[in-house]
Amino acid sequence: MAIRFLHTPKNKQFKFKPRYYDEQKEELESRVKQIKKEMGVSEDDPQKPYVSSIRKGEMRGYFKKNVEQKRKSTMRFVIILIILFAIVYFLLYF
């Protein structure tokens, strides 16, 4: 067993060969799906109109919660700093 110091390993190679790929067919299918989506036609039921999954008022309290969380974390940080300064003060002056 020889020790090699300057040896660099070879890159891994993958030998994946797709069975068949028709680029024109893929482009056509993607365009048809996009047009159906814009027109509001569902894939499952052509007569059923497209309904968005986003509801009114769903994001109403999202940013308010983030502001409250930031305020709480800031207060927690200030309290920890005060406690640390008090400990250092007592250690140095008493």
Domain ranges within the chain, ordered by starting residue: 22-51, 62-94
Supply the pLDDT for residue 77. 96
**β-strand partners of 49:** 41
**Is residue 48's pLDDT more than 70?**
no
**Is residue 79's pLDDT more than 80?**
yes
- Collect contacts of 7-10 with beta carbons under 8 A, ≥24 apart: none
Average pLDDT over residues 20-39: 88
**Is residue 43's pLDDT more than 70?**
no
Task: Between 7 and 50, name the one with better pLDDT.
Answer: 7
Residue 88: pLDDT band with limits 50, 70, 90: very high
Q: What is the pTM of this model?
A: 0.35
Q: Rounded CA gap, 13 and 16, in Å?
A: 9
